[in-house]
Structure 1
Amino acid sequence: MHAIRLHAFGPAENLTYEQTEDPRPGPGQVRIAVRAAGVHLLDTALREGMRGPAPEPTPLPTIPGREVAGVVEALGEGVAGPWLGKRVVAHLGFAPGGYAELAVTDAERLHEIPENLDFAEAVAMIGTGRTTMGILQFTDLGPDSLAVVPAAAGGIGTLLVQYAKNAGATVVGLAGGPEKTARVQANGADLAVDYTDPSWPAKVRAHLGGAKATVVFDGVGGDVAREAVGLLAPGGSHIVFGWSGEGIHDGEPYLVEGLSEQVLGPLMLQKAGGPNPVRTLESRALTEAAAGRLAPAVQRFPLREAAAAHRALETRGTTGKVVLEP
């Protein structure tokens, strides 16, 4: 098979397109002919050698990537026959291996892809959609809600805007540059504003005419978050799920004591509950997409151009979920 391999930590150019051995499914596993592989901002940091969430560092060489969709083409020992030939999507957990033409994973991680979703959309929902469902557990959106969504043209931001509008909320979407702002407007936001314009907070206040935000969905941090929090009404919520604007390596979220709630990690899973909270959130995301209530934005790159995909992510040159297609 062909795959993207990383032999040494460092820049995007270290991701090389190579031919390597086909992986074999072990007991309880399946092998997937990959049609789409998700790329996450965390992947760029892991590529440079940052210690990730896995209990042990990833040994090199490695094939990055932890989100795949495709067709089951081989079964390991003990896996039921009905999976063979199914269109599936899975998050690989701590195990890498997604940036490839073939990938193996535990059968218990599989979700069958709804008929109305393509492979890239399914990958977006298994990762980005799962996180979005987790974030939304921390607020009740309705017709009286006024939500501010920084990075509203991103993968999570796109879904947050759609969900909030479906709930009847008023939505202010922030994005960097006119092209992304236009996408946010087309996605249904009541107001789309370019946060690279220093006067953007004044423009939002003028548009709202004295109304205050009830919730800020913050995955950016930094000055954008600081200004967005200033738009909140007393008792409003600042839901923090990232700080991409500060840099994933050594940045920190913007937090206000008594106002901000940082929701990534164990807190999100505790809220989801059940014997397998990760799978619960994945199922919710796929259900929302299958019903047509959420439609992920996807930016596609050929598998061999993984380095270009990483560079685009690192320079904020992407819109929606970045996906590699073999």
Structure 2
Amino acid sequence: MSETRDPRPRRRRPLRAAVGLLVLLAVIGYFAVQRASNGGGAPYCVASAQASAPGGSPETYEMSPEQAANAATIAAVGVAKGLPDRAVTIALATAMQESALRNLDHGDRDSLGLFQQRPSMGWGTPAQITDPVYSAAIFYDHLVDVPGYSRLPLTVAAQKVQRSGYPQAYAKHEPDATVLTAAFAGAGSVDCGGPAPTEPGDPQRVRDGLDRIFGKGSLHSVRPPGEQAGRAGSGAGGAAEPEVTLVEKSDGGGTAARHSRAMAHWAVANSRELGISRVSYDRRGWVAGQDRGRWQEQAAAPAKNGANGPYDAAPGEVRIFLSRGTR
């Protein structure tokens, strides 16, 4: 009997397949546990919007922290300009098609950035175009010049700004862009999981980032650092975390509240880059590296990280705490 007709190898194949399957399941289980606990693994962000149908599940869109930070900036710039959700959705769908929400340093011919804008076509200098705040702002400036843009099909409105060679491509991103709009600019939420930041954060960088988008003192005032330190919770070792607290002005109304929501979710989406350890707004809080990266309701969560805990923002406040770094 030749080796090819020996039945013994065939009897071992099911065993090898079973062992391989068990190893694969173990690897998948390991990464699932790591992700659920936020103790390790790759960081990620999930945008959530309310279900479109009664009784349905929330609609979600998952992305990397880089993509989330860029989406948050695009949405925040639209909110700061006082534009409707439809404008934000058009902008996000456009950036999803043009760059997959990545700030590219290359593209077709001289196209650059989130929207693949071209210096040779008058969009700005390469440095300006690769600045997400600038590129989003100039996209919106062109969009609002389109008559009736909010009533046009998304692909038509986007094409009138972009002049793309593939105008129908924007349409496929509209459902996901709608979820992102609700998450960053509306009643949805943005959760970001992964390890807590290890590098210290700089409150000035946070203030500068928010000022560039929303303007200085337009609808919010910044609580002086001395007052912030007196109210801040404590981190590891009992020392107060650096903090940026923004307070809605009394005459801001619903516009200020919309800005606050956008600020809070912008902070969460940029937490890794800026060393943000926790964010609190509207009786809810988010803590880096905890609670599976999800926002928690104040009533449902005990105080953490000190006496005041992360869920202690007063009405009309956005509290952003910065990591002191690991030692």
Above 0.5 in TM-score?
A: no
Structure with bigger helix share is 2
Q: Under a length normalisation based on structure 1, what TM-score does the superposition of the two structures give?
A: 0.25
Bigger strand share: 1
Please say which structure displays the higher CA radius of gyration. Answer: 2
